[in-house]
Amino acid sequence: MTRTGAPAVLPWGRHYLAVRPDHFRVDYVINPFMDPADQPDPARALAQWQRMVATLEGLGARVEVLDQRPDAPDMVYAMNLGLGVLRPDGSAHAVLSHMRFPERRMETATARDWFARSRSTAYVGRDGVGAHFEAGDAFPFGDALVVGYGPRTDELGLKQLAVELGVRVRGFRITHPGMYHMDLAFNPLDGRRAMVCPDAFDEESAAALLALVPEPLVLSEAEALTFCANSVVVGRTVVMPACPDRVRAVLEGWGFEIVLVDVSEFHKGGGSIRCLTNPLDIVVGRDLPALPGGSVVLP
Ligand code: ARG
């Protein structure tokens, strides 16, 4: 809490990796939003992406840009390249994604090269071997790394993630086909608040997630399917692709400023602003407690 009683702003979310959409297409179907008959317009997509990056930079965030592989049309969704953290000893580390679908697995080789320039790297599973993990399923909140599993990340991967990072992992089972990543149904807003769409999860996981968040902004299924939870928070500003009136009223009542950025071309691939940006400034020991050896908590 600050002296005014408002919960502390998120300390992370001021440094991102993004992939310039030079080869963004919908070539295959791995989520319910994708339809190869409905292709993004390349010029419009690039303009929307540039506006998003300029908006984040205007808020004081730093955005690093990685070139898109021509053979990886979904690589624009940089959130899924891996989970980077800074460790208590000052070292930088990244857990690379092991994507559920072979269509995206080549992205990890490029992500590994990029992360390896400044960090040690590790895998949860590897191509064809072991558990899947997609970083869009994992965000710090409260005392743990909150991880959605089911559609993309395997339950088996949670233990490896906890051990690799030396943190507590709280797993929540996702069951909604349209909210196949955690970041479509959950978004940390500050120290006490987060957007949560209970309809994304099985009953026990929905109840456990609501219990973890002291002041949840509970989203209906219809609200979440506008991609409003797939937003990025920079201090007290929420950069959102859409904001239903009721959600706006709650956020503004809590003192957040809302900035809308249209990234509709990217909704054709099933992702929005959070999916297009990967936070690089999550600190173990600040944003989630260090727990050597790690642990997994399931509902
Ligand atoms: N087409 C991509 C996929 O299905 C979209 C990824 C969205 N990213 C996210 N972090 N939710 O993998």
| Residues identified as active-site | 181, 275
Average pLDDT (68-97) is 96
pLDDT value of residue 243: 98
pLDDT value of residue 90: 87
Which one, of 55, 59, 49, 44, lies nearest residue 18 by Cα?
Answer: 49
Pocket of ligand 1 (CB under 6 A): 30-31, 34, 74, 77, 79-80, 104, 136, 181, 183-184, 269-271, 275
Bridge-based pairing state of the strands 237-240 and 232-234 = antiparallel
- Distance CA(86)–CA(21), nearest Å, equals 27
Residue whose CA is at the smallest distance from ligand 1 atom 7:
271
Residue whose CA is at the smallest distance from ligand 1 atom 8:
275
Ligand 1 centroid to Cα of residue 6, in Å, is: 33
Query: Going from the N-terminus, what domains does the chain have, and what CATH number goes with each?
Result: 21-297 (3.75.10.10)
Residue of 17, 19, 80 to test ligand 1 pocket, by largest number of atoms within 8 Å of CB: 80
pLDDT digits (tens, 9 = 90+) for 168-186: 999 999 999 999 999 999 9
Q: Which residues, 6 or more positions from 131, have their beta carbon under 8 angstroms from its beta carbon? A: 98, 124, 125, 153, 154, 156, 157, 160
pLDDT digits (tens, 9 = 90+) for 61-74: 999 999 999 999 99
Ligand 1 centroid to Cα of residue 271, in Å, is: 5
The count of other CB atoms within 10 Å of the CB of residue 109 is: 13
Average pLDDT (223-234) is 98
The larger pLDDT score, comparing residue 246 to residue 7, is at: 246
CA–chain centroid gap for 168, Å, is 18
pTM of the model: 0.96
Average pLDDT (207-226) is 98
pLDDT digits (tens, 9 = 90+) for 270-292: 999 999 999 999 999 999 999 99
